[in-house]
């Protein structure tokens, strides 16, 4: 049975191995391969939608940068040797989006950090999804905690933004995460599920959605979640999707972690089964360190 399953894995997933794996290793490998490749089970069930099963690393540059620093960062990213089986996305401030789009390698996609809730028009200071698409932008980050807690965006508004962005073919990085006092009060899951539900209420097709779990207490604080803390929430989020959306969506939706990820802690986090990549703030402003985080996919492969 194990031998048959092993041969099946080799056949369907191009698995290379020298010695028969232990059962546990085999199961982990298959789970990793299923989640991190676009494939179908022998019974035809789609495990990962085409092009959406890869490790995903986003760099959220937030409100940082000057013409000079952005030029240097783009040059560093163009020079970096990045693993090619990772979806890499950077989110510069709006004013640098076009410059970055024009000068950055096509291997890295561009994201906005926000978009307007509906069609553009008389909305001073806003940028619409249509305008982002017009610029060649492929992604938008929505529901970031800095927009929730500093700007005051609420769950319903963020959900509407997600629906509108998706309707315009802008892919969405949907952020969720609890504050420190919420974690300490034992409300981490309640908060994350409530934010997730607001997204789920607005999203009918999850193909172009990545979920970012970003505990607020870990953002910009240098206090990263432990791999176990992050894995616990990621697994719970996947389970929530399974129960409230579908097993298929739970299986193919990437759940990435954000909050003080850097070149030193990414490898251990990446090994966790339900961590499918990262959303990186401060460390994404340093090209070589961001490349290290992108390349932490190799730790995931080794762990699998
Ligand atoms: O908010 C984040 C990414 O969106 C994380 O920021 P830091 O990596 O700076 O903690």
CATH number at residue 214: 3.20.20.70
Question: What φ, ψ does residue 3 adopt, rounded to 5°?
Answer: -65, -40
Alpha carbon nearest to ligand 1 atom 8, residue: 281
Residue 182's pLDDT is what?
98
Give yes or no for residue 281 CB within 6 A of ligand 1.
Answer: yes
pLDDT at 288: 98
Question: Rounded to an integer, what distance in angstroms lies between the CA atom of residue 14 and that of residue 40?
Answer: 13
Residue 13 lies in a domain: no
Residue 5, in any domain of the structure:
no
- How close is the Cα of 266 to the center of ligand 1, in Å? 13
For the chain, what is the domain count?
1
Is a pLDDT exceeding 60 seen at residue 49?
no
**What's residue 4's pLDDT?**
38
Kindly give the residue spans of alpha helices, DSSP state H, lying in the chain: 2-13, 23-35, 67-79, 94-103, 129-135, 145-146, 155-167, 180-184, 188-202, 227-244, 247-252, 266-270, 287-294, 297-303
The answer to whether residues 170 and 138 touch, using CB atoms and an 8 Å cutoff, is yes
168 burial via Cβ count (<10 Å: 0-12, 13-18, 19+):
middle
Residue 6 lies in a domain: no
227-244 helix and 188-202 helix, angle to the nearest 10 degrees = 40
Residue 20 above 90 pLDDT? no
188 sits in the region (left: phi over 0; alpha: psi -120 to 50; else beta) called: alpha
pLDDT in tens, 99-108: 999 999 999 9
What is the rounded distance in angstroms from the CA atom of residue 205 to the CA atom of residue 8? 31
Q: What percent of the chain has pLDDT over 90?
A: 81
Give the Cα separation of 159 and 121 in Å (integer).
Answer: 20
Indicate the average pLDDT of the chain.
Answer: 87
Q: Is 204 left (phi over 0), alpha (psi -120 to 50) or beta?
A: alpha
Residue 35: the pLDDT is 53
Task: Given the residues 36, 144, 146, 234, select the one marked as catalytic.
Answer: 144
The pLDDT tens digits of the residues spanning 147-183 come to 999 999 999 999 999 999 999 999 999 999 999 999 9
**Mean pLDDT in residue range 202-211:** 97
Domain assignment of residue 289, given as a range: 55-303
Report the sign of the C-alpha dihedral through residues 122, 109, 199, 217, in that order: negative
Domain assignment of residue 147, yes or no:
yes
| 40 confidence band (pLDDT: 50, 70, 90) | very low
In the predicted structure, residue 26 carries a pLDDT above the cut 60: no
3-state helix, strand, coil in the chain (%, to 5): 50, 15, 40
The pLDDT assigned to 161 comes to 98
* Predicted TM-score of the model (pTM): 0.85
Distance (angstroms) between ligand 1 centre and the Cα of 79 equals: 23
Nearest atom (ligand 1) to Cα of 144: 4
| Per-residue pLDDT at 208 exceeds 60 | yes
Q: Are 238 and 36 within 8 A, CB to CB?
A: no
Is residue 289 a contact partner of residue 44, using CB atoms and an 8 Å limit?
A: no
**Annotation says 214 is catalytic:** yes
pLDDT above 70: residue 41: no
pLDDT on residue 48: 37
Q: Is residue 15 part of a domain?
A: no
Tell me whether residue 36 is one of the annotated catalytic residues: no
Q: How confident is the model at residue 256 (pLDDT cuts 50, 70, 90)?
A: very high
Q: Residue 259 CA: which ligand 1 atom is closest?
A: 10
pLDDT (mean) for 282-304: 93
Using the mean position of ligand 1's atoms as its centre, give its distance from the Cα of residue 167 in Å.
27
C-alpha 193 chain-centroid distance: 17
Q: Confidence band (pLDDT; 50, 70, 90) for 302?
A: confident
User: Candidates 146, 258, 260, 265: which one to mutate for ligand 1, based on the most atoms within 8 Å of Cβ?
Assistant: 258
pLDDT tens-digit series, residues 68-105: 999 999 999 999 999 999 999 999 999 999 999 999 99
* 168 contact partners, CB below 8 Å, separation of at least 6: 129, 130, 133
37 lies in a domain?
A: no
Residue 92 lies in a domain: yes
Nearest 5°: the CA angle 133, 138, 140 is 95
Q: Which 3 state secondary structure label does DSSP give 282? A: helix
Kindly tell me if the per-residue pLDDT of 9 is higher than 60: no
Q: Is residue 19 part of a domain?
A: no
- Backbone φ, ψ for residue 89 (5° rounding): -135, 140
């Amino acid at each position: 049975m194990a031998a048959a399953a092993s041969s099946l894995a080799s056949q369907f997933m191009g698995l290379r191995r020298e010695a028969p794996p232990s059962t546990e290793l085999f199961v982990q490998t298959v789970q990793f391969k299923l989640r991190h490749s676009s494939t179908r089970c022998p019974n035809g069930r789609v495990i990962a939608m085409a092009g959406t099963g890869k490790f995903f690393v986003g760099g959220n540059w937030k409100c940082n940068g000057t013409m000079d620093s952005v030029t240097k960062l783009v040059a560093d990213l163009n020079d970096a040797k990045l693993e090619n089986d990772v979806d890499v996305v950077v989110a510069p401030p709006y004013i640098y989006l076009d410059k970055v789009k024009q000068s950055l390698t096509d291997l890295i996609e561009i994201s906005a950090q926000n978009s307007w809730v509906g069609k553009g028009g008389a909305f001073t200071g806003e940028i619409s999804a249509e305008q982002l698409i017009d610029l060649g932008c492929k992604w938008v980050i929505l529901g970031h905690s800095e927009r929730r807690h500093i700007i005051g965006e609420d769950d319903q508004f963020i959900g509407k933004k997600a629906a509108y962005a998706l309707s315009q073919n802008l892919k969405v990085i949907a952020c969720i995460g609890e504050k420190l006092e919420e974690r300490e009060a034992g409300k981490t899951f309640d908060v994350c599920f409530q934010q997730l539900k607001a997204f789920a209420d607005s999203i009918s097709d999850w193909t172009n959605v990545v979920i970012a779990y970003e505990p607020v207490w870990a953002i910009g604080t240098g206090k990263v979640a432990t791999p176990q803390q992050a894995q616990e929430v990621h697994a719970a989020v996947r389970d929530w999707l399974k129960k409230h959306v579908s097993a298929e969506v739970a299986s193919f939706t990437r759940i990435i972690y954000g909050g003080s990820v850097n070149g030193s802690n990414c490898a251990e986090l990446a090994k966790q089964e339900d961590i499918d990549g990262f959303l990186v703030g401060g460390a994404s402003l340093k090209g070589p360190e961001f490349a290290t985080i992108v390349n932490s996919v190799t730790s995931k492969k080794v762990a699998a």
